[in-house]
């Protein structure tokens, strides 16, 4: 879940909004962590306790809702994955000077190789763990080199001078929207972690993933803030790359390539795996064809990127649009949590119900407002 959330869009969005809002973007980061906690803890616990994937639970809550959720997740996952594949190419270009399209194709081939291995699940998990550690450590180094104003960041995280609904919706959508919300819970189900007795383990796993994502968001925010606070101008064509280059010179730009590639490659794997975990339940014949569906998902994403390309505006807009999946999926899980016939004796804590409900309501309002008033302007 963590490495799925930390993708090219994550890097781009954090750099873009830090450049626009400065230290006040810390407030949006704080909100994203709080929403992440309310949403993920509810979804992971409910899915694991029920022993059912989210789309099956949603269909039991309201017939047809699971199929609608599957469609939303699959479309959003495919859109994000086009950006993930592009991010792989950009990362290898920065790291080795490799042609962007060639780098994207090679990275897609690596991802497909993971799923073709005899122990695909273990290979996917180990790859995500190693790349996640690499991303965090390299970004911490760049944040230290950027020398951000920590006092100002801490103050404006609590008392912001500027607020932006688009910033909140976009980073929440990029962190916990769409397929990302369900990535960890569905991976646990496939690994046999299921039933009320496994809820404590699911909770620990969710908190670990949320913690890794939060640390990465904070250190990337601080790196960008350090650059902006010292008068650096971010390149609108590749704002995240300019953060690393301005903070640590040419070596920083190479580090950006490593971070971008790791973020993108793990997100390609996570997006394909989680999207197919939804699609394969649409028909019994699809259940035994998950590996082929995953490979097809990656191939289609790569082909679209190679033919069309992927601008920064799409990464930002998809994050905002994907946030609208959160209220649908989270709302269904909250209702299921209080259906005793679905929960195998598990009782969902009242505090998590309130936190999840608040996240769903706030994201519905902010998401609708942003899509209507702001997202169309990204493409002008």
The torsion of the CA quartet 14, 16, 21, 24, rounded to 10 degrees, works out to 0
Q: Which two tokens stand for residue 322?
A: 């994907």
Q: Which two tokens stand for residue 62?
A: 């309201």
pLDDT tens digits along 185-205:
999 999 999 999 999 999 999
pLDDT tens digits along 322-358:
666 788 899 999 999 999 899 999 999 999 999 999 8
Domain boundaries along the sequence of the chain = 2-375
What CA–CA distances, in Å, run from 152 to 27, 146, 148, 340? 12, 14, 9, 48
Q: What is the sign of the dihedral through the CA atoms of 265, 376, 324 and 165?
A: positive
Model pTM?
A: 0.85
Q: Which has the higher per-residue pLDDT, 55 or 318?
A: 55
Q: 103 and 91 in contact (C-beta within 8 Å)?
A: yes
First-last CA distance in the chain: 33
Q: How big is the CA angle at 174 (ends 170 and 180), to the nearest 5 degrees?
A: 145
What CA–CA distances, in Å, run from 2 to 126, 178, 257, 347? 13, 14, 19, 26
The per-residue pLDDT for 311 is 42
Q: What is the sign of the dihedral through the CA atoms of 315, 321, 327 and 330?
A: negative
Q: 49 and 336 in contact (C-beta within 8 Å)?
A: no
The whole-angstrom distance between residue 66's C-alpha and the CA centroid of its chain comes to 21
Mean pLDDT value across the chain = 87
pLDDT tens digits along 88-145:
998 999 899 999 889 999 999 999 988 888 777 788 888 888 888 888 898 999 999 9
Q: Which two tokens stand for residue 137?
A: 């450590």
- DSSP collapsed to 3 states, 80-109: HHHHHHHHHHHHHHHHHCCCHHHHHHHHHH
The Cα 336–Cα 286 span in angstroms is 25
Q: 128 and 238 in contact (C-beta within 8 Å)?
A: no
Class of domain 2-375: mainly alpha
For residue 9, which of 370, 342, 319, 274 has the smallest C-alpha distance? 319
Indicate if the pLDDT at residue 314 is higher than 80.
no
Q: 96 and 305 in contact (C-beta within 8 Å)?
A: no
Cα radius of gyration (the chain): 20
Indicate if the pLDDT at residue 46 is higher than 70.
yes
């Amino acid at each position: 879940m963590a490495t799925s959330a930390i993708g090219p869009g994550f890097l781009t969005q954090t750099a873009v909004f830090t450049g626009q809002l400065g230290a006040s973007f810390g407030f949006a980061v704080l909100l994203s962590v709080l929403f992440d906690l309310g949403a993920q803890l509810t979804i992971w616990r409910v899915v694991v306790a029920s022993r059912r994937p989210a789309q099956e639970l949603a269909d039991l809550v309201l017939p047809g809702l699971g199929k609608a959720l599957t469609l939303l997740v699959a479309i959003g996952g495919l859109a994000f994955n086009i950006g993930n594949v592009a991010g792989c190419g950009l990362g290898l270009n920065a790291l080795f000077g490799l042609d962007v399209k060639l780098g994207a194709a090679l990275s897609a081939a690596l991802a497909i190789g993971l799923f073709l291995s005899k122990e695909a699940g273990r290979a996917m998990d180990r790859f995500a763990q190693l790349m996640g550690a690499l991303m965090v450590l390299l970004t911490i180094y760049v944040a230290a080199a950027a020398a951000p104003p920590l006092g100002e960041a801490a103050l404006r995280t609590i008392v912001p001078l500027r607020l932006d609904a688009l910033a909140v919706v976009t980073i929440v959508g990029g962190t916990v929207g769409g397929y990302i919300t369900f990535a960890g819970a569905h991976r646990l189900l496939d690994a046999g972690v299921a039933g009320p007795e496994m809820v404590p383990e699911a909770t620990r796993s969710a908190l670990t993933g949320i913690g890794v994502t939060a640390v990465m968001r904070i250190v990337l925010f601080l790196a960008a803030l350090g650059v902006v606070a010292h008068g650096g101008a971010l390149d609108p064509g590749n704002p995240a790359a300019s953060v690393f280059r301005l903070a640590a010179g040419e070596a920083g730009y190479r580090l950006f390539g490593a971070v971008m590639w790791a973020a993108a490659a793990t997100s390609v794997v996570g997006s394909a795996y989680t999207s197919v975990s939804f699609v394969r339940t649409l028909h019994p014949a699809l259940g035994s064809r998950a590996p082929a569906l995953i490979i097809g998902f990656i191939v289609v994403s790569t082909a679209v990127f190679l033919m069309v390309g992927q601008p920064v505006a799409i990464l930002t807009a998809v994050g905002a649009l994907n946030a609208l999946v959160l209220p649908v999926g989270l709302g269904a899980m909250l209702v299921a949590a209080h259906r005793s016939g679905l929960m195998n004796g598990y009782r969902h804590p009242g505090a998590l119900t309130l936190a999840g409900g608040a996240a769903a309501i706030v994201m519905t309002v902010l998401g609708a407002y942003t899509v209507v008033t702001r997202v169309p302007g990204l493409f002008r």
